Amino acid sequence: MPMRLLFVLACCVAAHAADPTLLDRVQAASKDVATVRIPFVQEKKLAILDEPIVSKGLIEISRPLSAVRWEFTGKSILIFNAGKVRRWGAEGKEESAGKNDPGLKSFHDQMQAFLSGDWTGLKSVFDLAPDPDGAPVLTLTPKTKDIGKYINRIVLRFRDDFTAPASMTLTATAGDETVYTFGEPEVGADLPMARFSGP
């Protein structure tokens, strides 16, 4: 799984660990949300390519089921369910998700934090800087060398009502940039267990 995907997920939960004002707003906006589906468009701007690489996908979250589905349409699916991480490739075939895979371990920890509300682990990994003027923007800077090898900074902007992220810009150490634009969240989406069982 690409390292960048892991940090998108970190961004989505890191806002909860920011300053009390932003924390209060985000928690108040989402406290009664049991399920949500958020479409996104990923645009990778790589120095070696003239045109960006564009991919679409969905994030689906069910708090009652303690499950998250992260899907790049037609490419890959990653599911966190029952405390375990599973992934499938473009052909719909399940891929090995070894316990010792550091990427999957990171994804597991981040999803557990998102569903449980315990964000202390992320504070040890990122410096979190809310917008000084009170805009719904959070900038994350890696604290560790392992993450710093890949990521220079992440800028997360929330929707004005704080119900979901609006966009996220990830700047890689080498200067490449990945922009995620999140669509209208479908709060209360019908997300049966089958959505968190596989393709």
CATH number at residue 29: 2.50.20.10
Number of domains in the chain: 1
CA 166 and chain centroid, separation: 12
Beta pairing partners, 70 = 59, 78
Residues in contact with 133: Cβ distance below 8 Å, sequence separation at least 6, in sequence order: none
Q: What is the pLDDT along the chain (199 residues), one digit of tens a residue?
A: 344 444 444 454 444 444 556 656 666 666 677 888 999 999 999 888 889 899 999 989 898 998 989 899 988 898 888 878 888 988 888 887 655 555 555 566 666 666 665 555 566 777 877 788 878 888 888 887 877 888 888 888 888 777 677 898 989 888 899 999 999 989 899 999 999 998 8
**Alpha carbon 130 to its chain's center:** 18
Residue type, 73: T
* SS3 assignment, position 154: strand
Question: Domain range spanning residue 60?
Answer: 3-196
